Structure 1
Amino acid sequence: MTEHIDFNCDLGEGCGDDAAIVPCISSASIACGGHAGSEQSMREAVELCRAHGVAVGAHPSFVDREHFGRRELSMSPAAIHVLVTAQTRRLLAVCEQASVRLRHVKPHGALYNRAARDRDVADAVVAAVHALDPQLFVYALAGSELVHAARARGLQVAEEVFAERGYTAQGRLVPRGQPGDVIESVNAAMAQVRTMLRDGQVEAVGGGRVPIHADTLCLHGDRDDAAAFARALHETLRAEGFNIAAPGDHA
């Protein structure tokens, strides 16, 4: 039986070669005004995705362009619900104008990490998603509180792993700025991807392996070498016999 994996990347952030990345991926999370993004960049990213048959998702975040949404802000779950709703609606309006269906929501950066560990925040995110469209997928860090919250709400979930991020012994991402946070070598990233997809495990930065489940594989689009990384990952996945398809497209 053919094995399937979604390959996703963040787009519309104003710092990557989106046009070179899109042909390599099956789904995209588009910045919608928090850490990056404007109506124009959203339109351009949606059109790119439509041209290449790539599933479109929203990438809401803390409103903090100075730190690219990677600094945690003190916000209540209720305020986060409003934030996720407002940003996702912005992209939803662009999608409707382009006759493109919004397929998923994936929080960005510090909001993603907070929802991964804080059940109240995770519940706020999934409540916002469910109210917008209960058919939307939630992309969430594998094994996290956001996965559990989305399933409890009855939403479809894609458990996410990262090609070029380091993992802790608890299966969480190594915080940015700490040793082992980012994998710079393409070959090392390929080795991590193979281990995650074939063995259902990931090597922790401090040693040892951690169980992990992967429905979708993420590459960060703001890397300087993101386009080359995307091509290498795409070729590796195909060579390993995987069908690259967005969640729901291989059912």
Structure 2
Amino acid sequence: MTRSIDLNSDLGESYGPWVMGDDEGILAVVSSANIACGGHAGDPETMYATAMLARKNGVTIGAHPGYADREGFGRRIIPMSCDQITRMVAVQIGAMMSAAALAGTEVAYVKPHGALGNLAAEDISIAAAVARAVRAISPDLALLALSGSALERQARHMDMPVYSEIFADRAYLPDGRLVPRSKPGALLTDAATAARRLVGFMETGLMPVTSGPPISLEAHSICVHGDSPSALTIAQFVRRELSEAGISLSPFIASRTI
């Protein structure tokens, strides 16, 4: 049984006067933070402020690029060529690296957001487009990818550092994909249920799915979505339940400060 695991959350998704989630509260709980890069959400001030909070809490920073679609929160597919996706992702990573540098810290990994992340999990050409952007920026940057996904396989094919992720607050299909958000039961909102499922996974390596037997997944990190109304409660409950089961939190990559 694995005795430690990373807990991450998608954060920095406010912009201007519009506030999304309780970043300060969640950053006191998680060990890694995927910070929006100004595409689906975020702006220079939010990126910098979130990076500062992460540094204060010793939390590892990841860039969280997505489609430039704030109205759809990056959860709609925007028609783009693979080359355009590579350039979009590279520019967003560069922006987050700049904000992190001003905050005295560094970006350690990249996790694609929303519709882009879902496509990269299923379509090897999109996965390659994302991976090319990450590798072009820095060979030291890792990818955080959905366990069993095309992005995970592509990163390994390109001999890139890659870590596998499971979700605390999302239901799974029998093939390892996440249940689409448009479907009933896609989101788990009960903290106790989410925590029990994760403790069971940590003990067995098996993830319950919508139908059929549980499936085997690899995991270096657990994600709690920061935009969920119950995000902080779920994160706190998950951390407490894991601790009581003898499982500690540890970032999959150590926090980098300048």
DSSP-derived class of the 1:5 partner: strand
Between 1:193-202 and 1:159-168, the stretch displaced more is 193-202
Shift of 1:150: 0.8
Equivalent position amino acid for 2:4 in 1: H
2:87 aligned with 1:86, yes or no? no
The 3 A distance-change label for structure 1 pair 73 and 2 is closer
The 3 A distance-change label for structure 1 pair 44 and 178 is same
Counterparts of residues 27-38 of structure 1 (less than 5 Å): 27-38=32-43
Which of 194, 198, 210 is the aligned partner of 2:199?
A: 194
Shift of 1:2: 6.8
Shift of 1:208: 2.2
Partner of 1:10: 10
DSSP-derived class of the 1:67 partner: coil
DSSP-derived class of the 2:66 partner: coil
Given the two structures, how large is their TM-score scaled by the length of structure 1?
0.96
Moved over 2 A (4+): none
Q: Is the 8 A contact 2:145 2:163 kept in 1?
A: yes
Given the two structures, how large is their TM-score scaled by the length of structure 2?
0.93
DSSP-derived class of the 1:218 partner: strand
CA distance in 1, matches of 2:254, 2:74: 30
CA distance in 1, matches of 2:203, 2:46: 36
2:49 aligned with 1:44, yes or no? yes
Partner of 2:153: 148
2:166 aligned with 1:157, yes or no? no
2:169 aligned with 1:183, yes or no? no
Partner of 2:252: 247
CA distance in 1, matches of 2:179, 2:210: 8
CA distance in 1, matches of 2:60, 2:51: 9
The 3 A distance-change label for structure 1 pair 2 and 177 is closer
Shift of 1:248: 3.3
CA distance in 1, matches of 2:201, 2:161: 21
DSSP-derived class of the 1:85 partner: helix
Where does structure 2 lack aligned partners over 5 or more consecutive residues? 15-19
Shift of 1:207: 3.5
Shift of 1:242: 1.8
Partner of 2:130: 125
Q: Is the 8 A contact 1:2 1:241 kept in 2?
A: no
Shift of 1:129: 0.4
DSSP-derived class of the 2:215 partner: strand
| Aligned CA-pair RMSD | 1.4
Q: Is the 8 A contact 1:196 1:214 kept in 2?
A: no
Which of 112, 116, 131 is the aligned partner of 1:111?
A: 116
The alignment of Structure 1 onto Structure 2 pairs a total of residues equal to 250
- 1:92-123 alpha-carbon deviations (Å, 9 max, x no partner): 01111222011110000000000001111111
Equivalent position amino acid for 2:247 in 1: F
- 1:205-224 alpha-carbon deviations (Å, 9 max, x no partner): 12321111111000000011
Between 1:86-95 and 1:190-199, the stretch displaced more is 190-199
Shift of 1:191: 2.0
Shift of 1:228: 1.5
Give percent identity, aligned residues only.
39
Equivalent position amino acid for 1:74 in 2: P
Partner of 1:100: 105
The 3 A distance-change label for structure 1 pair 105 and 38 is same
Q: Is the 8 A contact 2:13 2:41 kept in 1?
A: yes
Shift of 1:149: 0.8
